[in-house]
A = this chain, B = another copy of it.
Amino acid sequence: MTYPVVGMVGGGQLARMTHEAGIPLGIRFKILSDTPQDSAAQVVADVTVGDYRDLETLRAFAAGCDVLTFDHEHVPTGHLRALEADGVVVRPGSEALVHAQDKGVMRTRLAEIGVACPRNRIVADPADAAAFAASVGGFPIVLKTVRGGYDGKGVWIVRSPQDAEEPFRAGVPVLAEEKVDFVRELAANVVRSPHGQAVAYPVVESVQVDGVCDTVIAPAPDLPDELSAQAQQLALTVARELGVIGHLAVELFQTADGRVLVNELAMRPHNSGHWTMDGSVTSQFANHLRAVLDLPLGDPRPRARWTVMANVLGGDYPDMYAAYLHCMARDPAVKIHMYGKDVKPGRKVGHVNTYGDDLAEVRERARHAAGYLRGTIDE
């Protein structure tokens, strides 16, 4: 048999769910995990424990793989280039992935290809940030470290020159952006293969709470067809122009005047696509694997009128098993996805998917299950 070996760098829940999707494909799947206890390391047969920041570790891992892909964006860009120079098949490649690693590079490139973004520029210090604020109509503005942020970390809403000091303390370049007066956040998810084949999932609404994704509604309710098509086209354009291989999540702001602006990019399976596990014909994880293997892509169409995903965050109780049993008894159709992670307050430890014809009911079922698991709902 010539079924290929896919190596994924990272052992988090994205690698765990990618393994789940890879089993029916018949491929071999390996991970490079930080520890033997990581979410994916608990369920994957072939686990290498090692540090992705070490080039020789990456080289040894890649030697056993037909293609290398990623559960996160943190592998140093120089290491990716070194692996490519060795002849390793890296997907997405370093030339694409740098746009998901460095927000400054991403903003520059999106401007070049004419994709609308919030106004932005790299700022040198708090005074420069204040000057940028003045140029976009004043505070508040958003400051971001160009590398290393996720789930609201590395992002500051800055309301005054004094507020602007903290982002510079890490010594990482800082990007300033106008604070967009958006009506909601959307995500346009696409998958692209080396052949140039691409599929677009329905555009979803992403509801954030405290900078962390709380709920995703697929498709985004009341989104005009024209704006939906525009957002999908935008994501396909970004995927093509940046040479993305695999899953690309484009997080968007929908503005009051009916435009979409790019907030962030991720070049891997993404939280805004977890609904596809139960809600579409082919999940983002299966399509990511098909793309990095240059297999024909799977049908991205939805299977239900509405699918809602709610993240399960850790609460005060370390043991969720009893709550989980209760949720199964209350709603035999709720799809619970646990990640095998220790519960810590605010940590993403799982998600639930619900689907059906009535959005209010579908959303309430997801809200209840996620809240009950977290411990914020007790009935």
Chain B's nearest CB lies how many Å from the CB of A48? 13
A295 within 8 A of B: yes
Residues of B within 8 A of A328 (CB): 290, 295-298
Does A298 contact B332, Cβ atoms closer than 8 Å? yes
| Inter-chain contact A24/B28, CB cutoff 8 Å | no
Contact with B along A173-189 (1 / 0, CB 8 A): 00000000000000000
Contact A24/B298 with A1-B319, A343-B1 known, Cβ cut-off 8 Å:
no
A43 touches B23 (CB 8 A): yes
Flag whether A45 is at the interface (Cβ < 8 A): yes
Q: Is A336 within 8 A of B19, CB to CB? A: no
- Chain A: number of interface residues, binned into ranges: 35 or more
Could you tell me if A332 and B297 are in contact, using CB atoms closer than 8 angstroms?
A: yes
Q: Specify which chain B residues have a CB less than 8 angstroms from the CB of A335 in the assembled complex.
A: 24
A365 nearest CB across to chain B (Å): 12
Taking the nearest CB of chain B, how far is it from the CB of A280, in angstroms?
Answer: 10
Q: Within the complex, which residue of B23, B290, B297, B298 is in contact with A19, where a contact is CB–CB below 8 Å?
A: B23
A 328-350 binary contact with B (CB < 8 Å = 1; else 0): 11001101111110110000001
B296 close to A338 (CB less than 8 A): no
* Chain B min CB distance to A345 (Å): 15
Q: Which chain B residues border A342 with CB–CB below 8 Å? A: 1
A42 touches B43 (CB 8 A): no
Interface contact A338-B44, CB-CB below 8 Å: no
Assess whether A3 is in contact with B340, with CB atoms less than 8 Å apart.
Answer: yes
Tell me which residues across on chain B come within 8 A of A296, comparing CB atoms. Answer: 325, 328-329, 332
Question: Does B42 contact A1, Cβ atoms closer than 8 Å?
Answer: no
CB interface residues, A 184-237, toward B, < 8 Å:
none
- Give the docked Cα–Cα distance between A106 and B36 (Å): 45
Q: Are A26 and B333 in contact (CB under 8 A)?
A: no
* A105 proximal to B (CB < 8 A): no
Tell me the complex Cα distance, A299–B337, Å: 16
Residues of B within 8 A of A3 (CB): 321, 338, 340
A285 to chain B, nearest CB (A): 11
Q: Is the CB of A320 closer than 8 A to any CB of chain B?
A: yes
Minimal beta-carbon separation of A309 from chain B (angstroms): 13
- Answer yes or no: A16 CB below 8 A from chain B CBs: yes
Give, as a whole number of angstroms, the nearest-CB distance from A289 to chain B.
Answer: 12
A25 at the interface (CB under 8 A from B): yes
Q: Are B333 and A299 in contact (CB under 8 A)?
A: yes
- A318 in the interface, Cβ–Cβ < 8 Å? yes
- Other-chain residue from B19, B20, B298, B325 in contact with A333 (beta carbon distance below 8 A): B298
**Minimum C-beta distance from A15 to chain B (A):** 11
A2 in contact with B319 given A298-B333, A338-B26, A350-B26 (CB within 8 Å): yes
Interface status of A282 (Cβ within 8 A of chain B): yes
For A45, give its contact among B20, B41, B318 (CB under 8 Å): B41
The reply to whether the CB of A47 lies closer than 8 angstroms to some CB of chain B is yes
Asked whether A281 is an interface residue with its Cβ less than 8 Å from the other chain, the reply is yes
Taking the closest CB of chain B, its distance from the CB of A153, in whole angstroms, is 25
Scan residues 320-377 of chain A and give those whose CB is less than 8 A from a CB of chain B.
320-321, 324-325, 328-329, 332-333, 335-340, 342-343, 350
A-B contact pairs, 18 of them (CB 8 A): A1-B321, A1-B342, A1-B343, A2-B319, A2-B321, A3-B321, A3-B340, A24-B335, A24-B336, A26-B340, A28-B42, A43-B44, A45-B47, A281-B332, A282-B332, A290-B328, A295-B325, A296-B332
* 7 closest Cβ pairs, A-B complex: A26-B338, A296-B329, A296-B328, A299-B333, A299-B332, A24-B337, A20-B23
